[in-house]
């Protein structure tokens, strides 16, 4: 099968590489020439475990190509996947202008091809997270250019559920694949290309396009709700002297609840959860439904991002001038270089505005952070270098290498052995034995012995 991916970011690149791995001929397009040049030159702009190996293999085998020329990308293709950005607008709704603009460009090229007798049936599959009704809008756009649905093209919705940091693994072995499609022909072809990914029996769930679009928002908002719930439980634990570690274990072992997504922290971030909860809330509002829970999720998450800051100002006072704060972790979560809506970045900006000097380290997200924060902060070459003469350490991302550090070395490097842990990486009683003061989320605080 010949597959085109439009938008070669986190989702598009993983999709392209994984389809190539299954033997398809894949061409990935991006508007960003620089990105395309890098990808053609062997350089990947995102960090994902396992990506480099299959990218290199499929490049070598000649199954994976990159271009910024749309006509070249679609001439011979059977299926076009859209993996384009759908950021939040000011009012919280999803901005689908790129998806619609690219659909128009495709429609124009398809109809020119049809006139020249150089065109065959294609499926346009939307992978971007988009409001309910967007597939229907894409179909209308193609029809406006004289193309006939079911004959020249079909449109399908195929929301993506991969997690950054586990993206290759998730794409290669998904829990399920959701396809919103009404054409039996398109359904058959899409099942064919996805069958190799569900050999272990996980389902390909076929439904109407609107339900598929809704499934993505419902899933992300539900996951955001779980995180928010455990964050509030953690806050209450602090208030009344319980320990959230015990509580979440006690809760999560109930099979109706399960243990996943019950880790308290600094609030959810990233390019998906905040924007998708906002978009679903806005969609509900536009349809005349007051989805109260979503608004609470957003409000609680906003407050949660300030929890560590509050702990710090309780300790140091409001003015953080002359304090040197080390920050471990800049990515919005571990195993990615993505810093979009990162709780770490939010905290850093607040600390800087209160006068603190920040020296930060992240195993993969230093470059992406430099693009955002530039000279606002200092950057350390490794996790220990960040600690030199530090008045406190903040742990903001749960990278594995932060889990078992050399505490003795840390204590020697820091002026003040003080840790604010937004990710609950350490056992409070153990860390206090090393002589640290330790503040974490929803657990008893430990003073130095
Ligand atoms: N990142 C995730 O974990 C994830 C997971 C599931 C779904 N999604 C959804 O998938 C979509 C893409 O997300 P992403 O994280 O891959 O975004 P991204 O910003 O990493 O990638 C989008 C890419 O599209 C390119 N682009 C922008 N305009 C273009 C145009 N007109 N023509 C061609 N290319 C263009 C950009 O240069 C960029 O490389 C979003 O709707 C997102 O909500 C993301």
Task: Give me the CATH number covering residue 232.
Answer: 1.10.1040.10
Helix (H, G, I), strand (E, B) or coil at 253: coil
**Ligand 1 mean position to 286 CA, how many Å?**
25
Question: How far apart are alpha carbons 31 and 102 in whole angstroms?
Answer: 10
Pair 20, 159 in one domain: yes
The reply to whether ligand 1 has any atom less than 6 angstroms from the CB of 16 is no
Pair 289, 334 in one domain: no
Q: Ligand 1, from 4, 8, 11: best to mutate by most atoms within 8 Å of Cβ?
A: 11
Pair 107, 170 in one domain: yes
Question: How far apart are alpha carbons 61 and 191 in whole angstroms?
Answer: 25
Question: How far apart are alpha carbons 350 and 320 in whole angstroms?
Answer: 10
The reply to whether ligand 1 has any atom less than 6 angstroms from the CB of 162 is yes
Residue 73 token pair = 């990308």
Taking residues 231-243, what's their average pLDDT?
97
Residue that finishes a domain, picked among 207, 227, 251: 207
Q: Ligand 1, from 6, 9, 18, 219: best to mutate by most atoms within 8 Å of Cβ?
A: 9
Pair 359, 398 in one domain: yes
Taking residues 110-138, what's their average pLDDT?
96
Please compute, for residue 218, the number of CA atoms within 13 A of its CA located in the half-sphere on the CB side: 8
Pair 19, 120 in one domain: yes
Question: How far apart are alpha carbons 337 and 18 in whole angstroms?
Answer: 20
Find, among 164, 175, 65, 84, the residue nearest to 126 by Cα.
84
Which domain does 54 fall in, by range? 2-207
- Residue 444, pLDDT score: 81
Taking residues 103-113, what's their average pLDDT?
97
Q: Which helix (H) or strand (E) holds 391?
A: none
Pair 12, 104 in one domain: yes
Pair 248, 311 in one domain: no
Tens of pLDDT, residue by residue over 406-430, are 999 999 999 999 999 999 999 999 9
Residue that finishes a domain, picked among 303, 333, 363: 303
* 447 confidence band (pLDDT: 50, 70, 90): low
> Is position 212 within any domain?
no
Pair 147, 221 in one domain: no
- The answer to whether 408 and 387 have CB atoms below 8 angstroms apart is no
**Ligand 1 mean position to 4 CA, how many Å?**
14
Angle, nearest 10°, between helix axes 209-240 and 244-252? 140
Counting the structural domains of the chain, the total is: 3
The reply to whether ligand 1 has any atom less than 6 angstroms from the CB of 219 is no
Q: Name the percent of the chain in helix, strand, coil, to the closest 5.
A: 45, 15, 40
Virtual torsion, Cα 395, 401, 404, 405, nearest 10 deg: -70
> Is position 393 within any domain?
yes
**Nearest 5°: phi and psi at 356?**
-75, 150
The reply to whether ligand 1 has any atom less than 6 angstroms from the CB of 164 is yes
- Residue 221, pLDDT score: 98
Residue 408 token pair = 């003795």
Q: Which helix (H) or strand (E) holds 340?
A: none
HEC per residue, 341-388:
CCHHHHHHHHHHHCCCEEEEECCCCHHHHHHHHHHHCEECCCCCHHHC
User: Quick check: 197 pLDDT over 90?
Assistant: yes
* 448 confidence band (pLDDT: 50, 70, 90): low
> Is position 357 within any domain?
yes
User: Quick check: 176 pLDDT over 70?
Assistant: yes
DSSP line for 49-65: TTHHHHHHHHHHTT-EE
Nearest CA to ligand 1 atom 10: 128
Residue 137 token pair = 């809008």
Which ligand 1 atom sits closest to the C-alpha of 164?
3
Nearest CA to ligand 1 atom 38: 9
> Is position 433 within any domain?
yes
Q: CB neighbours (10 Å) of residue 148?
A: 11
DSSP line for 94-148: B--HHHHHHHHHHHHHHHHHHHTT----EEEEE-S---TTHHHHHHHHHHHTT--
Pair 345, 253 in one domain: no
**Ligand 1 mean position to 128 CA, how many Å?**
7
Q: Which helix (H) or strand (E) holds 80?
A: strand 79-82
Tens of pLDDT, residue by residue over 327-374, are 999 999 999 999 999 999 999 999 999 999 999 999 999 999 999 999
Q: What percent of the chain has pLDDT over 70?
A: 99
Residue that finishes a domain, picked among 207, 242, 258: 207
Q: Ligand 1, from 271, 276, 334, 371: best to mutate by most atoms within 8 Å of Cβ?
A: 271
- The answer to whether 350 and 420 have CB atoms below 8 angstroms apart is no
- Residue 449, pLDDT score: 45
> Is position 402 within any domain?
yes
User: Is residue 18 flagged as an active site residue?
Assistant: no
Pair 153, 96 in one domain: yes
User: Quick check: 446 pLDDT over 70?
Assistant: no
Pair 299, 309 in one domain: no
Exposed (0-12), middle (13-18) or buried (19+): which is 390, by Cβ within 10 Å? buried
Pair 294, 309 in one domain: no
Question: How far apart are alpha carbons 231 and 266 in whole angstroms?
Answer: 8
> Is position 378 within any domain?
yes
> Is position 445 within any domain?
no
Which ligand 1 atom sits closest to the C-alpha of 272?
43
> Is position 233 within any domain?
yes
* 173 confidence band (pLDDT: 50, 70, 90): very high
What is the domain-level CATH number for residue 77? Answer: 3.40.50.720
User: Quick check: 326 pLDDT over 90?
Assistant: yes
User: Quick check: 43 pLDDT over 50?
Assistant: yes
Nearest CA to ligand 1 atom 21: 9
Tens of pLDDT, residue by residue over 286-314, are 999 999 999 999 999 999 999 999 999 99
């Amino acid at each position: 099968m010949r597959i085109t991916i439009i938008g070669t970011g986190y989702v598009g690149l993983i999709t392209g590489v994984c389809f190539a791995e299954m033997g398809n001929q894949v061409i990935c397009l991006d508007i960003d020439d620089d990105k395309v040049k890098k990808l053609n030159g062997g350089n990947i702009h995102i960090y994902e475990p396992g990506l480099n190996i299959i990218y290199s293999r499929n490049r070598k085998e000649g199954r994976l190509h990159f271009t910024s020329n749309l006509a070249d990308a679609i001439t011979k293709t059977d299926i076009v996947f859209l993996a384009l950005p759908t950021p939040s607008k000011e009012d919280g709704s999803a901005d689908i202008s790129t998806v619609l603009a690219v659909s128009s460009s495709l429609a124009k090229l398809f109809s020119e091809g049809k006139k020249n007798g150089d065109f065959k049936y294609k499926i346009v599959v939307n992978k971007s997270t988009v409001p309910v009704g967007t597939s229907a809008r894409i179909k209308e756009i193609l029809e406006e250019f004289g193309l006939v649905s079911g004959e020249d093209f079909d449109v399908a919705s195929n929301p993506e559920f991969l997690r950054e940091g586990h993206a290759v693994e998730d794409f290669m072995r998904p829990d399920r694949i959701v396809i919103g499609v009404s054409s039996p022909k398109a359904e058959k072809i899409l099942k064919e290309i996805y069958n190799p990914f569900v050999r272990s029996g996980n389902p390909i769930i076929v439904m109407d396009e609107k339900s598929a679009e809704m499934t993505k928002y419902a899933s992300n908002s539900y996951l955001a709700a779980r995180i928010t719930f455990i964050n509030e439980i953690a806050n209450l634990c602090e208030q009344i002297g319980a320990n959230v570690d015990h509580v979440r274990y006690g809760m999560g072992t109930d099979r109706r609840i399960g243990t996943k997504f019950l880790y308290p922290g600094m609030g959810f971030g990233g390019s998906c959860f905040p924007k998708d909860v906002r978009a679903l809330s806005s969609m509900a509002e536009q349809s005349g439904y007051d989805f109260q829970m979503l608004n609470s999720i957003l409000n609680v998450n906003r407050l949660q991002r300030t929890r560590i800051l509050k702990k710090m100002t309780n300790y140091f006072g409001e003015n953080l001038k002359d304090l040197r704060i080390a920050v471990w972790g800049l990515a919005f979560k571990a195993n990615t270089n993505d810093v979009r809506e990162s709780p770490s970045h939010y905290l850093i900006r607040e600390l800087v505005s209160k006068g603190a000097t920040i020296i930060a380290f992240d195993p993969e997200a230093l470059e992406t952070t430099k693009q955002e924060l530039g000279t606002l902060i200092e950057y350390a070459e490794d996790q220990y270098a960040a600690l030199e003469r530090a008045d406190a350490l903040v742990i903001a991302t749960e990278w594995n290498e932060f889990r078992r550090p050399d505490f003795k070395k840390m204590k020697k490097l820091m002026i003040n052995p003080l840790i604010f842990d937004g990710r609950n990486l350490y056992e409070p009683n153990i860390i206090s034995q090393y002589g640290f003061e330790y503040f974490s989320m929803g657990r008893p605080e430990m003073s130095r012995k």
